[in-house]
Amino acid sequence: MPKHACEESVRRLYPRPQWSYVHPMTVLPIARMGHPILATPARPVDDPTGPETRRMIADMIETMRAVGGVGLAAPQVHGPLRIIVYEVPAARNDGEAIPLRALLNPVLEPVGDEMAEAREACLSLPGLSGRVPRHTRVRWRALDAEGQPTAGEAVGFHARVLQHECDHLDGILYPMRMPDLSTFGFVDALRDDTPEKPTAPEKPTAPEKPTD
């Protein structure tokens, strides 16, 4: 995405008077599996509207879009804070697009017992994928980019993204949620013979873009 388009998205998260806190933005390095920060629970954000928090959110958005993810958690860019950003395209969420959001100190609560298993990938585990069971519906609450309480309910892929990203805040990577490690491996070597939706039986299937 062009840099000016990313800047405009961040402008929508922040009122114009605060824009000086988040400009310019930087693409941050991604922490990969094995780095201690990915195994360490993140700490709560104490100053939601402070300049350091705003800069972190803006840089996370820039990074997420630069690498083609739909979500990103602060520990993935070496930030030990409970912050996630995400943006879900309609094509991956049954036709419903979820606009850009930044959630601070998010809390998730499953709604019902229904679970679904699907492939996930992760920017912190490049080239790898595996099938992960997740709750199909969750209720969430957090602070928004302006430090105001916000809440909602997520279903399907939206719910999966939230669970994946919030796991990062607790030092959990998706392989730790996998009941069957035989489905875990390198994308270019995997064949998924049990997808959620029918596919041609002889066509190798690669997972979609990373969940984050």
Catalytic residues: 165
Bridge partners of 116, per DSSP, are 134
35 is an annotated ligand-binding site residue:
no
Query: What is d(CA 70, CA 121) in angstroms, rounded to the nearest whole number?
Result: 11
Nearest to 183 by CA among 159, 207, 200: 207
* Helix axis angle, 51-67 to 3-13, nearest 10°: 140
Scan for tokens 């809390």, then name that residue.
Answer: 107
Evaluate whether 191 touches 184 at the Cβ level (below 8 Å): no
Q: Which residues of 171-191 are buried (b: 16+ CB within 10 A; e: fewer)?
A: ebbbeebbeeeebbeeeeebe
Identify the CA nearest to 169 among candidates 94, 109, 91, 85.
85
For residue 38, what are its two tokens?
Answer: 């990915």
Check the annotation: does 164 bind a ligand: yes
Q: In 3D, which of 107, 10, 25, 23 has the Cα closest to residue 63?
A: 25
Strands 128-135, 83-88: pairing kind: unpaired
Least Cα distance to 27 among 64, 2, 1 occurs for: 64
- Was 168 annotated as part of a binding site? yes
Q: Which residues are annotated as a binding site?
A: 122, 164, 168
Q: Which residues are annotated as a binding site for Fe cation?
A: 122, 164, 168
